[in-house]
Amino acid sequence: MWSLAWPWALLALPLPWLLRRLLPAARAPSEAGLRVPNLSRFETLRDRSPVERMLDWRFWVAVLAWCLLVLAAARPERIGDELEVPVAGRNLMLAVDLSGSMDQKDFELAGRRVDRLTATKAVASDFISRRKGDRIGLILFGERAYLQVPLTLDRDTVKVLLLEAEIGLAGEKTAIGDAITLAVRRVHEQDADEGEQVLVLLTDGANTAGEVQPIKAAELAEQVGLRIYTIGIGAESMDVSSLLGGRRAINPSADLDETTLTAIAQQTGGRYFRATDTASLQDIYALVDELEPVEEPETGFRPVRSYYHWPLGIALSLAGSLCAAALTQRAVLRRRAKVQAHAG
């Protein structure tokens, strides 16, 4: 898109005509007479009519030069397409529990009862899709912790590998401390100026395996600036069949160590959340979105390139050609006058 930076400069276009109309005409200089036998050689010296002056090519060259000079003063520019300025997002690690207890079917999804991991996959996948601009990594842990996806901007790959995760893939027990330690190690390998460091850890149990205790791992996370949000997943009550054929209520989340998860979050400046069903799990990830908002790219930036030098250069070239023509004509007239004077 073409535009003028200073369009008000175009108001100067009729300035020469206004000056010609408003200012008094210059007085003709009085010169001594010259005797000549005839005026045929001095035809070009006589005053020309306005029509004759307009038919002169130099008149139109001067008009064109003035218009180009005014156009250059208005600074023509070309505005490019709107661009998004990339922003530095967060380093966001997701740690998902794959221990045997995640097979508990106490969640509902689309009207059917599903296990905890299936519900987590569905909700976490939507969460990943919303984190545009963040570098996302995926840690899967059970008895051991594995880095399934290093920090990357490729959200689709993270979602695919999360959906492919299976219960028991990393062992039946739960190594919460090792999962946090692995996240700390990955964060420590990143440059300090690459954005904020966040870990969202989801589990349904207590730390029953691993080499590092969760509280010690949280202290290490605090040292490297890793903020941890912990999510305890599992229903608070569930009806099961009894041996006598009746129904009885049990707590399927009796093994959940909320005290430790809360301490981990508080140690690192994060928060602990409790997800008892799919709706509350969705609300938790939405709340994490609010606590750790996605950096919006700066829109509205359009590259601007100025082209004022082109009309300015052409105007100066035309003005130079007029000066050269005037000097040439003046020299010719002087030579003719000298020749005529000698002939007289």
Amino acid at 164: E
Residues in Cβ contact with 98 at an 8 Å cutoff, skipping those fewer than 6 apart: 117, 140, 141, 142, 165, 166, 167, 168, 169, 170
CA distance 128 to 109: 18
Is residue 284 a part of any domain in this protein? yes
- Which DSSP string do the residues of 22-63 spell out, in sequence order? HSPPPPPPP------S-SGGGGGGSPPPHHHHHHSHHHHHHH
- Residue 295: the pLDDT is 67
Please check whether residues 219 and 281 belong to one and the same domain.
yes
Please check whether residues 290 and 315 belong to one and the same domain.
no
Is residue 257 a part of any domain in this protein? yes
- Residue 45: the pLDDT is 47
- Residue 270: the pLDDT is 94
Is residue 51 a part of any domain in this protein? yes
Tally the domains of the chain.
2
- Residue 175: the pLDDT is 94
Please check whether residues 307 and 230 belong to one and the same domain.
no
Please check whether residues 68 and 95 belong to one and the same domain.
no
Is residue 318 a part of any domain in this protein? yes
Please check whether residues 169 and 258 belong to one and the same domain.
yes
- Residue 302: the pLDDT is 73
Please check whether residues 292 and 318 belong to one and the same domain.
no
CA distance 111 to 108: 6
Please check whether residues 262 and 334 belong to one and the same domain.
no
- Please name the residue that has the structure tokens 């349904």: 204
Hey, what are 248's tokens? 């009885």
Consecutive sets of 10 residues in the chain, 344 residues long: mean pLDDT of each? 86 86 67 50 51 66 89 87 62 93 89 92 94 91 93 93 91 93 86 75 92 94 94 80 62 86 95 93 93 68 82 89 83 74 63
Please check whether residues 233 and 116 belong to one and the same domain.
yes
CA distance 288 to 272: 11
Residues in Cβ contact with 321 at an 8 Å cutoff, skipping those fewer than 6 apart: 61
Is residue 123 a part of any domain in this protein? yes
Under a CB-based contact definition with an 8 Å cutoff, are residues 147 and 137 in contact? yes
Is residue 36 a part of any domain in this protein? no
- Residue 110 CB burial class (10 angstroms; 0-12, 13-18, ≥19): exposed
Is residue 317 a part of any domain in this protein? yes
Domain that holds residue 57: 2-22+43-81+303-343
- Residue 299: the pLDDT is 56
Please check whether residues 264 and 242 belong to one and the same domain.
yes
- Residue 236 CB burial class (10 angstroms; 0-12, 13-18, ≥19): middle
Is residue 32 a part of any domain in this protein? no
Hey, what are 273's tokens? 């959340």
CA distance 233 to 280: 10
Beta strands in the chain (DSSP E): 2-4, 76-79, 83-85, 91-97, 107-109, 112-114, 135-141, 145-152, 197-203, 226-233, 238-241, 247-250, 272-275, 298-301, 304-306
| 3-state DSSP assignment of residue 298 | strand
CA distance 288 to 283: 9
Whether the CA torsion 145, 150, 155, 157 is positive or negative: it is: negative
